[in-house]
Amino acid sequence: MLQSNPHTTSTPDSGTASGSTRIDRSDIEPINFVDLKAQQALIRDDVERRIKDVLDHGAYINGPEIGKLEKALSQWTGAEDVVLCGNGTEALEIAMMGASVGQGDAVFIPAFTYNATASAVLMVGATPVFVDVYEDTFNMDAADLEIKVEAVALKGELTPKMVVPVDLFGLPADYAAIRKVADAHDLRILADGAQAFGGRQDGRFVGNIADMTATSFFPAKSLGCYGDGGAIFTRSKEEGDVWRSIRWHGTDEARRESVRIGTNGRLDTIQAAVLLSKLSIFDQELKRRAEIAAVYDEILGEVMALPARPENCDHGWGYYSITLDDRDGVRAALQDKSVPTAIYYQQALHTMEAFKAFAPSNGLPVAEKLSERIISLPIHPYMSDDQVLYVAQSVRELVG
Ligand SMILES: Cc1ncc(COP(=O)(O)O)c(C=O)c1O
């Protein structure tokens, strides 16, 4: 069985959180941006036992762990059905194929996200239409979505078909506003929740906010396996069955005849076994991420704008991202202090070589500005209290 996560028993106390105790680099272990080794130390025995089970039964494809994990994820999120697949990109593609998105269709996506959101659209033969984002939440701007949908409808070359909001860094997009636009123009909503497993809006977890949600279990994600993995969540069992068919070459239930176009989109049984183990500590990890974010908020709040926390949302804290005027200078100084950081994203999608043919002529000013200012601080659940303080104090010293 798993041991409990020692971090969850000790919330950083508020005296320390205020930053009154100064932490020196020599007081702490080196900080990693993500620490899968520390996590593995907690679950190693359980993971080995579960992998041994797979080796014993030998069903490497579609073994019992697949159905078990689909059920567990459905229970965890409240989604009606969950279909595991090979990675988060494939999850997006399969959901689009299931909704018959293809050539001649426009799919509206934010310009400030990972490239996979755009490539999935192109891989199914549809056309990405880039939408700007809000400066505070970094998520899709619903007013700009409306403008872009109307422009496409007016031009008449493409059919507006789907919108793919991204829950960037763990924060759910503004689905109420997006839904209004989607309903008015008959668009389906597919949430890209690849960074947001564990995030919540109006009491619903990512996976059960939009009609369809894709996520990724890439190792560095909040819930990640030991390789590639992904899943799609739906409110409709029928849709889930279509996705199961698509992920297995579009075959019927007996897997004899291809009844639609499909692909090999399956998750390996061994990865499902790893995820079952990781899911058992996920609640504790989520809690710890929120504790770290609260300490960062407290120490950094006086000197900079904090990541937005809309009242109806619980952030999943896949990343703690802030914007800084001298982002690159601060980043270099943090590196000198052994504080690892990451930049997601250096470039807005519509400025990239592969996608610039789809760039709007007047650009997307907020996405472009963010790409010059954004920086993410480490927020993995295995940071010690002192490491958290050291990161926050280091940033505050440089920015304050
Ligand atoms: C927003 C977003 N969408 C899609 C993906 C694709 O997931 P995967 O790498 O599992 O294909 C990622 C992965 O980083 C992502 O961050």
What CATH number corresponds to the domain at position 98? 3.40.640.10
Whether 311 and 246 share a structural domain: no
Q: Are residues 320 and 238 in the same domain?
A: no
Residue to mutate (ligand 1; options 123, 218, 374; most atoms within 8 A of CB)? 218
pLDDT at 20: 65
What is the residue range of 308's domain?
A: 6-30+281-341+378-399
pLDDT tens, residue by residue, 289-341:
999 999 999 999 999 999 999 999 999 999 999 999 999 999 999 999 999 99
How many domains are contained in the chain?
Answer: 2
If DSSP codes are grouped into helix, strand and coil, which group holds residue 378?
coil
Q: Kindly report the backbone phi and psi dihedral angles of residue 327, in degrees, each rounded to the nearest multiple of 5, phi listed first.
A: -55, -50
Asked if residue 296 is part of any domain, the answer here is yes
Output the pLDDT for position 321.
98
* String of DSSP letters for 28-95: SPPPPSS-HHHHHHHHHHHHHHHHHHHHHH---BS-HHHHHHHHHHHHHH--SEEEEES-HHHHHHHH
Regarding whether 326 and 178 lie in a shared domain, the answer is no
Q: What are phi and psi of 266, to 5 degrees?
A: -85, 155
Q: Which of 295, 322, 319 is nearest to 307 (CA)?
A: 322
Q: Does any domain span residue 346?
A: no
Average confidence (pLDDT) over 344-350 = 97
Claim to verify: residue 295 and residue 154 sit in the same structural domain: no
The stretches of the chain forming alpha helices (DSSP H) are: 6-9, 14-17, 36-57, 64-77, 88-98, 115-123, 142-155, 175-184, 237-246, 269-279, 282-300, 327-336, 365-373, 385-399
- 8: pLDDT strictly greater than 60: no
Q: Ligand 1: residues within 6 Å at CB? A: 87-89, 113-114, 116-117, 166, 192, 194-195, 216, 218, 228, 230
Q: Which two tokens stand for residue 44?
A: 């190693």
The CA 88 to ligand 1 mean position distance, Å, reads 5
Claim to verify: residue 321 and residue 234 sit in the same structural domain:
no
Average pLDDT, the chain: 95
Query: Which tokens belong to 283?
Result: 């609640």
Kindly state whether residues 71 and 145 are assigned to the same domain: yes
- Rounded distance from Cα 165 to ligand 1 centre (Å): 13
CA 168 to ligand 1: nearest atom:
1
Atom of ligand 1 nearest to the CA of 195: 16
**Whether the predicted pLDDT of 98 surpasses 60:** yes
Q: How far apart are CA 342 and CA 170, in angstroms?
A: 15
**Is the pLDDT reported for residue 242 higher than 80?**
yes
Residues 199 and 296 in one domain: no
Report residue 400's pLDDT band, with 50, 70 and 90 as the boundaries. confident
Ligand 1 midpoint to CA 188 (Å): 20
Report the pLDDT value the prediction gives residue 3, as an integer from 0 to 100.
Answer: 31
Q: Give the pLDDT of residue 5.
A: 33
- The mean per-residue pLDDT over the stretch 252-264 comes to 96
